[in-house]
Amino acid sequence: MTFKATCCCKQLSITVSSHPEINSVCHCNNCKQRTGSAFGISMYFKTGAIINKTGETKVYKFFHKEQSHEQCRYFCPQCGTTLYWTISTMPDLLGIAGGCFSASDILEPTHTLNNANKCSWVNFPSKWHVQE
């Protein structure tokens, strides 16, 4: 089974050949700003599962203060969608924005992270793993 994520204008895409190792909803301020939403859906895949990348990217590199790691975000220079990223503390994984997969490929997350920053009106299933 393969999963393909694309940016809004479809110029940029990434295809993976497995289910994610980590599938989470993150409430850190940085994910909120990245998505313009109350949280970000982050799906992490082993780098060996990446079978294709197409399109031109720009990169935004920064130090994530809340979580003490370096991050490189790859985004489409045409539409601005952040499609995927790397994190220095997880060198064998690549994060992909969950909302960039087709609706049928957006798997239910299993974790909720950085819950101290969660909006009070957001609730998740009790079966999800909660990580502060």
Residues 100-124 as b or e (16 or more Cβ within 10 Å = b): bbeeeebeebeebbbbebbeeeeee
Domains of the chain in start order, with CATH, are 3-131 (2.170.150.70)
Give the helix/strand (H/E) hosting 35: helix 29-35
Per-residue pLDDT averaged across 13-39, rounded? 91
- Tell me the per-residue pLDDT of 61-95, one tens digit each, with 9 for 90 and over: 988 776 678 999 999 999 999 999 999 999 999 99
Residue found by looking up tokens 């190792």 in the block: 21
pLDDT band at 111 (very low <50, low <70, confident <90, very high): confident
Pairing of strands 69-75, 82-87: antiparallel
Q: How many angstroms separate the first and last alpha carbons of the chain? A: 32
The whole-angstrom distance between residue 100's C-alpha and the CA centroid of its chain comes to 9
